[in-house]
Amino acid sequence: MKGIILAGGTGSRLSPLTKVTNKHLLPVFDKPMIYYPIETLKKLGCKDLMIVTGGEHLGSIGELLEDGSEFNMNFKYVIQKTANGIAGALSLCEDFVKDEESFYVILGDNVFLGDVPNNPDSCAIYVQKVKDAFRFGTYMPKENKIIEKPKGITNGLCVTGLYKYTPKVFDFIKTLEPSKRGELEITDVNNWYLEKGNMSITFISDWYDAGTFSSLLEASIKVKENGTR
C-alpha cells in the first residue's frame, strides 16, 4: 500500500508562525506536525510515501524526514509549484501510484489520535461528528453529498483530511475546472465518487485539524493528555 501526504500551501491561517517555516514542521506537543500523518499512514499499512510540498520548504522537510528510514518507510518528494488546491497537489502523484489498486491520501495538518480503521473498500472518506460543521466540508447522508461549509449547520459529519482512492481519480481531476477561489477542489473529487456509488463512509473520532491556532493548541493538549504516540 502506498500513501501520499499533502504538505504544501502557505499556512496563512497560522501566520506569522509560518512566515519562514512550513506549517507542517510546527510542533504538536513534542513532535513536528507532519509526524502524525506519517504515523497514521504507517498504521494503515503504507510502506512507501510521496510527500508533496512547496519548493521553498523542500529543503527543511527533506532534512527532517530524509529517506524515511527513521520510520522504517520509504519517502519520495515532489514540488507543488502552484498552490492550486488539494486535488491539484494530488494530481502530481499519478506516476507514483498508477500501478496500485488503491492508495491513501492524507493532509499534513491532520492529527488522528483515535483508532483509524483500514477500510477494505477501494475508496473511502473518513468522517467525524462535529458541532461546527459550518467550518468544514460536511457529508449529508440524506443527499449522499458533501457540501462545503454549509450555512446554518452546526452538528454534522465533517469530512476529515484522510481519503482512499483508486488511480481513476487522476482521470477525473484532469476534467476539473478551478473553483471561484482558483483551486481544484477535493470536495468535487469526493462527490464524483459518491455519485458513482463507489465511496465508502468510515466513522472515526479524536481527529484534529491543526491548521488554526485554536486547533493546533487543542491537538497539542490532547496529545499530552493521551500520552505521546
Q: Which helix (H) or strand (E) holds 46?
A: none
Task: Report residue 177: phi and psi, to 5°.
Answer: -105, 145
Of the candidates 86, 174, 198, 82, which has an alpha carbon nearest to the alpha carbon of residue 137?
Answer: 86
Predicted confidence at residue 228, as pLDDT, reads 56
Residue 9 pLDDT = 77
What pLDDT does residue 18 have? 87
Distance in angstroms (rounded) separating the CA atoms of residues 85 and 88? 5
pLDDT of 40 reads 98
- 2-125+161-183+208-226, CATH topology level: Spore Coat Polysaccharide Biosynthesis Protein SpsA; Chain A (3.90.550)
Specify whether the backbone of 43 is left (phi greater than 0), alpha (psi in -120 to 50) or beta.
alpha
C-alpha cell at 59: 529543503
Q: List, run by run, the mean pLDDT of 10-residue segments along the chain (229 residues).
A: 91 86 93 97 97 89 96 97 92 96 97 93 96 94 94 94 97 95 94 95 94 93 81
pTM: 0.95
83 φψ region: left (φ > 0), alpha (ψ -120 to 50), beta (else):
beta
